[in-house]
Amino acid sequence: MALIELGVTVLDCPAPRALADFYAEMLGWRVAEDEDESDWVEVVGPGGRTLAFQQVEGDYRAPRWPGQDQPQQLHLDFDVRLADIDEAEAKVIRLGAKLVQPDDGKRDFRVYLDPAGHPFCLCMK
């Protein structure tokens, strides 16, 4: 075991439960219920992989993509089989994502914004 291991990836957002529901449905993971925590919600997947969502008090400013006026600071990449990319895209859009950069035949990914404005990619594998 390494001395230091990656724990959880955390996204700031105005509504943690809503964003957790989006990612749980998108990935087929489960929301970890903790009724005492409304400002921190975790989504747990296979092997204990975890995404967490932390409430930002006050003026939440979503990252802007593209550009760095309000830096994206990070983005998430999700792998999708090439044969399933259109189905995956339809699913994330139905869940509230917005397509901001389709593949142009030269790239093997498409860029979206989640309901809180965080960029993520569906990467064709």
Question: Can you tell me whether residue 27 is helix, strand or coil?
Answer: helix
Q: What was the pLDDT predicted at 74? A: 77
Q: What was the pLDDT predicted at 36? A: 74
Q: What was the pLDDT predicted at 72? A: 66
- Cα–Cα distance, 39 to 12 (Å, whole number): 10
What is the domain partition of the chain in residue ranges?
A: 1-60, 62-125
Q: What was the pLDDT predicted at 91? A: 96
- Residue 22 φ/ψ, nearest 5 degrees: -60, -55
Q: In terms of CATH, what superfamily is 62-125? A: 2,3-Dihydroxybiphenyl 1,2-Dioxygenase, domain 1 (3.10.180.10)
- What is the pTM for the complete model shown? 0.81
- List per-block mean pLDDT (blocks of 10 residues) for the chain, which spans 125 residues: 74 94 97 83 94 89 78 82 93 96 86 92 90
Q: Mind giving me the DSSP string for 37-82?
A: -SSEEEEE-GGG-EEEEEEPPS------SSSSSS-----EEEEE-G
- Cα–Cα distance, 29 to 23 (Å, whole number): 8
Tell me which architecture the domain covering 1-60 has in CATH. Answer: 2-Layer Sandwich (3.30)
Q: Residue 111 forms beta bridges with which residues? A: 101, 121
